[in-house]
Amino acid sequence: MKILITGGTGSLGKALIKTLLCTNPPEKLVVFSRDEWKQHEMMHEFKHPCLRYFIGNVRDRARLYRAFDGIDIVIHAAAIKQVPTAEYNPFEAIKTNILGAQNVIDAAIDCKVKKIIALSSDKAVNPINLYGATKLCSDKLFVAANHYSGKHNTRFSVVRYGNVVGSRGSVIPLFKIQAAKGTLSITDKRMTRFWITLDRAADFVLECLEHMNGGEVFIPKIPSMRIRDLAYAICPDCKLEEVGIRPGEKLHEVMIPADEAIYAREFENHYVIYPHWEKRGLPGWACPDRFTYTSSTNNDWLTVLTLRRVLGK
């Protein structure tokens, strides 16, 4: 198969490439991204004859058509992801996360891509910030795209997960810098988040690619963490200073709201929200009435000891 990853120089893009090269290298693996320097660094980090590097932006429709020519599978990871950046530059986030998503969809259909999976976020659920709102729009576009792929039979699905350990923009590097001063700034001691490692996220995306039929939103079962526990795991002797929740930030995150749970099915290691047109003979188990999958009511929690082990401390 020939695979292309938009946003391929990002944290998850690199994890996907590493996993693919170590397990089952495709015939061609295309890294599609805007940043020439990051691509230059990756050329030195990853050595494999299947790799190709393609400078481009998902806002550029014509460039996507050229890049998708002959591609079988697309993993769409390109996005403006920083909440404050999206709040301050709203239409830039819209142009990349929404208009760019539609460009990817159109190019995939016309270039006869077989499967495309888009990466989403827990912030797309009941969004209160622009980033979450753009990802919600993007998710809707990708699910609906299954209706008009027509004779090309391109299939579209979505993967939704929480905060990624080790990704750029994570609070962990900030805490490590602040630890030298003896005080860590946290937004609210009550705050909780879903947490997934880069390796687990990459594995889950590839598993979903294998099992997708089109229209599904895949959600992994992952642990929650308390922000104060993460701070203590990094620096147990540091003082914690509450600075308040930032604009557009939630106290707790949701991955399956009650309104979507009626379409959700539970599996051993994940959930799937099926499209409304799939109603009979679905695998898995129906979720309980009024079920929600929320970071504050999760059954799986990372303790300070587990967090320190994950962080290699």
Cα separation, 43 vs 286, whole angstroms: 46
Q: Is residue 39 part of a domain?
A: yes
Q: Is residue 97 part of a domain?
A: yes
Please give the pLDDT value at position 310.
81
pLDDT of 166 higher than 80: no
Is 85 a domain residue? Answer: yes
Q: How many percent of the chain have pLDDT more than 70?
A: 98
The answer as to whether 169 is a domain residue is no
Is 168's pLDDT higher than 70? no
Residue 241 belongs to a domain: no
Q: Give the domain extent around 153.
A: 2-162+196-220
Q: To the nearest whole number, what is the mean pLDDT of the chain?
A: 94
Number of domains composing the chain: 1
Q: What are the catalytic residues?
A: 123
**Kindly report the CA angle at 244 between 243 and 245, in degrees rounded to 5?**
135
Write the pLDDT tens digit of every residue in 14-65: 999 999 999 989 999 999 999 999 999 999 999 999 999 999 999 999 999 9
Residue 186, in any domain of the structure: no
CATH of the domain at 78: 3.40.50.720
| In contact, 302 and 200? CB cutoff 8 Å | no
In a domain, 311, yes or no: no
- How far apart (Å, rounded) are the C-alpha atoms in residues 233 and 307? 6
Tell me, yes or no, whether 158 lies in a domain: yes
Q: What token pair was written down for 311?
A: 């962080």
